[in-house]
Structure 1
Amino acid sequence: MRKRRDFDAELKALEEKARELKTRKVQQLGELVISTGADALTADELAGALVAIAEAKDAGKREAWAKRGAAFFQGRARRSGSALDRDNGSAQTQPGGAQSPSGGAGAA
């Protein structure tokens, strides 16, 4: 005979995981706002800029913003990586954290 599934416990675990993911996303977005200096803007200015970006249909503009954002993160990773090398003598960290864009832990 099969073991009965506890749907309530599974649902509660999924809800907790969803809460954790939402909390992490909000924290990361806040860190992004601060690291770009956008925290100097008023909430209305920041919201207006984000709404304009979200509504933008011009692929050229979006591509330019994406390139500028990538350059921001690459420059930031170089600065923090070289600081880590000086402080700890450790290898430079990968931009974007420990996880690769493909979802794997590293190249095969």
Structure 2
Amino acid sequence: MRKVRDYDAELKALGHKARQLKAKRVEQLGALVTATGADALDAETLAGVLLDAVASSDAGEKEAWRARGAAFFQRRGRKGGGAAAIDESGSAAEPGGDAAGGSGATANE
């Protein structure tokens, strides 16, 4: 005889797991902002920079941002591995606090 599946319990468990993953992602994004020094920017400036990055269709510019982000994580990894936890989502960001310095910072996805 077959065991009856408890779909409600499975849906609850999946919902709980989804909330945990979302909370972890939000925490990682906050850590990324702090690690890059972008927390020194006011929220409006940071939001504007990110919106410009998302709206950009220039593949060369996006590749330059990605390369700078990869270099940032490689440097951080050698200094103590702090960026390894941030990098789990595959995000990249510009190094230093100059996120608003012309081209902007971005979490490249």
TM tier relative to shorter chain: 0.7 to 0.9
Q: How does 1:1-108 map to 2 (within 5 A)?
A: 1-81=1-81, 96=84
Unaligned runs of 5+ in 2: 91-109
Q: Percent identity?
A: 57
Between the two proteins, the alignment pairs up a number of residues equal to 87
Unaligned runs of 5+ in 1: 82-92, 102-108
RMSD: 1.9
TM-score (norm 2): 0.75
* Greater relative contact order, per chain length (Cα 8 Å cut-off, separation 6+): 2
Shift >2 Å, 4+ stretches: none
User: Deviations for 1:19-41, whole angstroms, at most 9, x for unmatched residues?
Assistant: 00000000000000000000000
Cα distance in 2 for partners of 1:54, 1:80 equals 30
